Amino acid sequence: MNVLDYIENELLTCLCSKLRIEGRPACTCHHFGGDVPPVGDRCQANTAGENGQVWVRRVSSAIEADSDEVTFGGWACGGSVWQSQIELGIYRCISAIPDENGNAPAPSAYDADRELLAADRATLAEALCCWPLAGLPPTPQPFDLDISVMAAQILPLGPTGGCAGSMLTVVVNTPLTVDEGEDGESEPVFISSPAGALP
């Protein structure tokens, strides 16, 4: 099993579920594989009351090698862990934009945007309480996950092109292997495996 893919899937599902429960659903929730956050190109609100997009992106992964588990060739193996940065982001369509004549928006538009973006920042912070970063899994799992949250920060994005938002970056330490299945055998984790929906 790919540990980081699993973490990203669970966090994306949890964040989008929280936004829907709180009455601020997004139009799309998706993985993104670029080297920078995605373009805010899905920000139009729709008739279903949805607005904007939510994404998860793996920013980086670096090995944290134990000196007792390094081979003569210098490669880390065995119980080494990866320290990875995972990004969760929310873009919204905002109302505080100049009109066709270039006139500045009304102060009330800035206030309305601020309320929406502040609510999203609070929900991003709550994502740190999602499984598997904290708490119990929503359903029983046939494996144990050893995850340490090392750091987290939330930053604003935009505004640009009628979109603005917020981004949570969390730094986690995860093992290279996880015990999966009834036989308890340790399966290798390939960090480069593409993220996607789990069965």
b/e map 67-89, b = 16+ CB within 10 Å: eeeeeeeeebeeebbbbbbbbbb
Q: Can you give the residue ranges of every domain in the chain? A: 3-181
Q: Is the pLDDT of residue 171 over 50?
A: yes
pLDDT in tens, 62-106: 887 666 666 655 555 555 788 999 999 999 999 888 888 888 889
- The lowest-confidence range among 47-61, 79-93, 124-138, 167-181 is 167-181
Six-digit token string for 96: 């505080």
Q: Residue 41: pLDDT band by 50, 70, 90 thresholds? A: confident
Mean pLDDT of the chain: 84
Of the two residues 48 and 24, the one the predictor is more confident about is: 24
pLDDT in tens, 95-136: 888 888 888 889 999 999 999 999 999 999 999 999 999 988
Give the per-residue pLDDT at 146: 83
Q: Is the pLDDT of residue 184 over 70?
A: no
Question: Taking the C-alpha atoms of 117, 118, 120 and 126 in order, what is their torsion angle to the nearest 10 degrees?
Answer: 160
Give the per-residue pLDDT at 199: 35
Give the per-residue pLDDT at 129: 95
Give the per-residue pLDDT at 138: 80
Give the per-residue pLDDT at 69: 60
CA-only gyration radius of the chain, Å: 19
Contacts with 184 (C-beta within 8 Å, 6 or more apart), sequence order: none
